[in-house]
Structure 1
């Protein structure tokens, strides 16, 4: 009998950014892999996640590579980078995720998914800049939630809760979990899988091996890697985000801010309705 095979798909969150071990990243998926099966028959783990990946990358590149590995369990945690691009389209995101989920479920693969916090809140952007990003992430989360129900995925609600506001859970960049945050994700996924009889190994430890980043580490990140990160996002997202922020200001002045939320809700409903047999949206 071959070992259980776990393949992780996604972006920098699943790649493990924020949880360094030596000169590489570890992350929640690797921590979870260690607890999927007993020590004497450890799971085979492959991480295909790539920093910066979007739903298109998961559909067109990572999914075919994962299918070649014939996984028993696959995680698909993706969508934040889509919200950070000027090309954001919830219809396209929904269609891609629907195809990815359907592909793995047709193979009988156990599918892991998650809703995630919005990046504007995590980065502490001003309200007029944060609200459009929050609206986009809510849309993605609603789609993920609905499609997870449709395909019977093991779904983790990680968009809110104490872990989001606990600074010790996050890395210096404020956008990726630190070691403690990655351990929390691994623990929560393990608990869901154990309840379903799908994880038979020991749960990951909640205790961190390294201290959380302090203020100096956050400032160092902003002065080095963070500067490049902001610059790359500014050339793509910032012009549109400023336009979205101007819309926020205009609607607030007119007392019509609710229209923006209603429009986003209608877009999600339309995106899901366009998918054959899709569930109606629910709170993520």
Structure 2
């Protein structure tokens, strides 16, 4: 990318919209704006990401607008809202991501992607609820990993980066990054671009302008906005999640919990094979059907933190709960 006239299109949901990092003049700033400032003095940023967006929104109206922008660089980070909806379908999610990534790469844009943290783990949900959500996030992240490799996207294993795990890097809602978290994510993407020879400016500043939100801010958010946020999703998600939790209990009691992991893995493999892709090698399944009440099991996939998708690595990177 040249130093002048860099066009950057941002596709996705609230994470890329910038939720958690208030802009000085109102609205949200976020990692994408911070990254754009570090790319070039005259970077032309088009942020199409919107709170609540799903993969269908990205593959539809957001993609159409992004292609009109003729971007040199684009980012696609979406799918978390899909995992929080009833009837989550990895086939649909993978196909819609395939459409978006394929069209952007065909237009000549470099594309950034990332694995996402597991909301059940971040929120500390009980294991019967956290495991089904974690299984969905594993499916999403495996699909993103495979699609990124196929399309030659620059892929960041972001789920276990500090912005996703450090309390100081989370905003009052405990789901989105704070200003500090958005700065960490912008810095991570800058390093990824620099490693590919595509960054032309200095890295974003890591020091936030203000302190991270404390516990009081989290309580206030839940009282004033969080209840509605949860209710909007529970209307659709709760019946499905309760059914999944009941399945989790039943399989745990029978010692057959690994079958749920296997079924989810097979669904992901089938979804990717239907697109002509191979799924990443599986990590270890749960070794026992006994519930782990202290933490959610983690699944490992090949790759290092700073490796582009599909590159070789001798280690493994945890990507989801």
TM-score after normalising by structure 2: 0.85
Instruction: State the shift of 1:123 in Å.
Output: 1.5
d(CA) in 2 for partners of 1:281 and 1:90? 15
**1:26 is aligned to 2:29:** yes
Match of 1:105 in 2: 105
Match of 1:122 in 2: 122
Instruction: State the shift of 1:162 in Å.
Output: 4.0
CA offsets 1:193-231 (integer angstroms, 9 cap, x no match)? 011111101110110111111110000000011011011
CA offsets 1:137-176 (integer angstroms, 9 cap, x no match)? 0100000001101111111101124443210010111110
Match of 2:240 in 1: 240
Where in structure 2 are the equivalents of 1:25-44 lying within 5 Å?
25-37=28-40, 39=41, 42-44=42-44
Maintained 8 Å contact 2:163/2:185: no
Structure 2 segments unaligned to the other structure (5+ residues): 282-300, 302-318
Match of 1:216 in 2: 216
Instruction: State the shift of 1:267 in Å.
Output: 0.5
Maintained 8 Å contact 1:11/1:52: yes
d(CA) in 2 for partners of 1:254 and 1:134? 21
Maintained 8 Å contact 1:272/1:281: no
The farther-off stretch of 20-29 and 68-77 is 20-29
d(CA) in 2 for partners of 1:153 and 1:198? 13
Match of 1:192 in 2: 192
Structure 1 segments unaligned to the other structure (5+ residues): none
Where in structure 2 are the equivalents of 1:35-74 lying within 5 Å?
35-37=38-40, 39=41, 42-74=42-74
Match of 1:144 in 2: 144
CA offsets 1:63-86 (integer angstroms, 9 cap, x no match)? 000000100000000010000000
d(CA) in 1 for partners of 2:279 and 2:133? 22
TM-score after normalising by structure 1: 0.96
Q: What RMSD, in angstroms, separates the aligned Cα atoms of the two structures?
A: 1.2
**1:280 is aligned to 2:246:** no
The number of aligned residues is 280
SS in 2 for 1:190: helix
d(CA) in 1 for partners of 2:248 and 2:200? 49
Q: Which runs of 4+ in 1 moved over 4 A?
A: none
Instruction: State the shift of 1:281 in Å.
Output: 2.3
